[in-house]
């Protein structure tokens, strides 16, 4: 009976014997391997929790001006102070001076007109809640900028090193070794200390310091990936046709080698944020009173003997930082499982 049938293009026989899977547009665009990695993010409960934590922080960063309005046209990244008293004040102390205007959610939830210090104040009456909400923006800003910069520098240097090979490769890799030899925190500290008098106290010195001592990992990874792609036929074909070196590198090789490095880079945003917070905890970088998590936490250092009374100086900033890093780590863990070559084809 099959002999009389005309081919319809809808081969039932084939789809019954071989299970055919619908290929979505996203999968076609990303390619099967990359698609599997992206989908891996939604598989385990841990990675879903990670994604939710992260979305929560992204929302806070976007809606910071709605959650806590900026008091009277000040710099939004300057934490508002309620007076100048030295002792920290406990959570729920009424806000007396220099209070921002009431946000829309305050009255329905709190049932009063009185703005209070929800998480208390640090020394010098800096409001901790404001600092944490606006610090989320600082965290993402520094994390993104530093990661993008290190990533670009890393892939350029790693790309050049792998593409030219030989002497160039050898010299560049020794330079990478030298940069990796210096302990990261110390090296970043010294760079920030050198740049601060030149640039002034702001986010920039610490960010530059993190970039200068952060690109080596990407350079190494992309180098390895490029070395394997360089041998493929399409690169040879491009060379035969006479395409310029730089064009082969940037248009043909790097786009094909970049994905694993890109995944690593997006995960590194969490780490970078943490390094930034650590440096500003140590007292380099931004000036006192800038809305930045490490800075807020460093206030606790002056009250170590009485932390039982002033518990809120570490508890709230600490929990914020831990949740943020936890979010990144959960996603990172899920991705590591998917990216592990031994797991390929198992899902």
Partner 1 sequence: MTTYIIRRLLLVPVILFGVTILIFGMLQFLDPVERVSMYIRDTPKSDAQIEALITKYGLDKPIYVQYWKWLVGDVDPITNVRSGGILFGDFGYSRTNSQPVADLIKNRFPNTLDLTLWAIGPVIFVGIWLGIQAAVRHNKPFDQMARIFSIIGTSLPTFVFGLLVLMLFYANLGWFPPGRVSDEFSKIISSAEFTNYTKLLSIDSLLNGRFDIFLDVMKHMVLPILTLSYISWATFLRVTRSSMLETLRMEYVTTARAKGLSERDVIHKHARPNAMLPVTTLAGFSIVGLLGGVVITETVFNYPGIGATAARSAAQLDVITVLGFTLFTGLILVVSNVIVDVLYAFIDPRVRLS
Q: What is the contact mask toward partner 1 in residues 18 to 57, using x (rule: CB under 8 A)?
A: ----------------------------x-----------
Out of 99, 155, 157, 189, the only residue in the binding site for partner 1 (CB under 8 A) is 189
Out of 99, 235, 321, 338, the only residue in the binding site for partner 1 (CB under 8 A) is 321
Residue 121 has φ and ψ, to the nearest 5°, of -125, 155
Cβ–Cβ < 8 Å for 283, 259: no
Cβ–Cβ < 8 Å for 47, 334: yes
- Does 337 help bind partner 1 (rule: CB under 8 A)? no
Instruction: List the one residue out of 282, 277, 161, 280 whose CA is nearest residue 215.
Output: 161
With CB under 8 A as the contact rule, which of the stretches 112-120, 130-138, 248-256, 328-336 interacts with partner 1?
Answer: 328-336
Question: Site residues for partner 1, window 260-289 (CB under 8 A)?
Answer: 274, 277-278, 281-284
Identity of the residue, 149 or 313, whose beta carbon is nearer to partner 1 in the bound complex: 313
**Cα(247)–Cα(241) distance, rounded to whole angstroms?**
12
Question: Site residues for partner 1, window 194-223 (CB under 8 A)?
Answer: 194-198
**Residue count at the site for partner 1 (CB under 8 A)?**
50
For 233, counting Cβ atoms within 10 Å of its Cβ (0-12 exposed, 13-18 middle, 19+ buried), the class is: exposed
CB of 318 to partner 1, least distance (A): 4
- Does 250 help bind partner 1 (rule: CB under 8 A)? no
Tokens linked to 297: 């936490």
With CB under 8 A as the contact rule, which of the stretches 24-32, 99-107, 182-190, 261-269 interacts with partner 1?
Answer: 182-190
**Cα(256)–Cα(60) distance, rounded to whole angstroms?**
35
305: how many CB neighbours lie within 10 A of its CB? 8
Question: Site residues for partner 1, window 290-309 (CB under 8 A)?
Answer: 294, 297, 300-301, 304-309
- Does 179 help bind partner 1 (rule: CB under 8 A)? yes
* Long-range contacts, stretch 75-80, CB < 8 angstroms, 24+ apart: 76/134, 76/291, 77/134, 77/137, 77/138, 77/290, 77/291, 78/289, 78/290, 78/291, 79/126, 79/127, 79/130, 79/131, 79/134, 79/289, 79/290, 79/291, 79/296, 80/126, 80/127, 80/130
CB of 91 to partner 1, least distance (A): 16
> Could you list the residues that contact partner 1 (CB under 8 A)?
46, 174-175, 177-179, 181-183, 185-187, 189-198, 274, 277-278, 281-284, 294, 297, 300-301, 304-309, 311, 314, 317-318, 321-322, 325-326, 329-330, 333
């Amino acid at each position: 009976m099959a002999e009389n049938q005309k081919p319809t293009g809808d081969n039932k026989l084939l789809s019954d014997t071989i299970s055919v899977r619908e290929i979505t547009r996203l999968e076609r665009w990303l390619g099967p391997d990359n698609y599997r990695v992206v989908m891996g993010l939604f598989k385990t409960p841990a990675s879903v929790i990670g994604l939710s934590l992260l979305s929560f922080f992204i929302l806070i960063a976007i809606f910071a001006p709605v959650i806590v309005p900026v008091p009277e046209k000040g710099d939004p990244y300057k934490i508002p102070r309620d007076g100048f008293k030295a002792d920290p004040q406990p959570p729920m102390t009424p806000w007396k001076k220099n209070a921002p205007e009431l946000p829309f959610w305050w009255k329905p939830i709190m049932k009063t007109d009185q703005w209070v210090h929800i998480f208390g104040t640090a020394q010098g009456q800096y409001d901790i809640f404001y600092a944490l909400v606006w610090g989320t923006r600082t965290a993402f800003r520094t994390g993104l900028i530093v990661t993008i910069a290190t990533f670009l520098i890393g892939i350029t240097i790693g790309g050049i090193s792998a593409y030219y090979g030989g002497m160039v490769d050898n010299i560049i890799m020794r330079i990478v070794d030298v940069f990796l030899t210096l302990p990261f925190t110390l090296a970043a500290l010294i760079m920030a200390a050198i740049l601060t008098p030149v640039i002034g106290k702001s986010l920039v010195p610490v960010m530059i310091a993190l970039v200068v001592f952060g690109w080596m990992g990407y350079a190494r990874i992309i180098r390895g990936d490029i070395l394997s792609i360089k041998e493929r036929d399409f690169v040879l074909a491009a060379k035969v046709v006479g395409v310029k070196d730089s064009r082969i590198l940037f248009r043909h090789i790097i786009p094909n080698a970049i994905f694993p490095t890109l995944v690593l880079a997006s995960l590194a945003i969490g780490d970078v944020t943490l390094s930034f917070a650590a440096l500003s905890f140590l007292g380099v970088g931004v000036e006192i009173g800038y809305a930045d998590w490490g800075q807020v936490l460093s206030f606790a250092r002056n009250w170590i003997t009485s932390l039982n009374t002033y518990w809120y100086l570490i508890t709230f900033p600490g929990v914020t930082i831990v949740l943020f890093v936890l979010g990144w780590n959960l996603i990172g863990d899920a991705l590591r499982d998917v990216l592990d070559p031994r797991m390929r084809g198992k899902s």
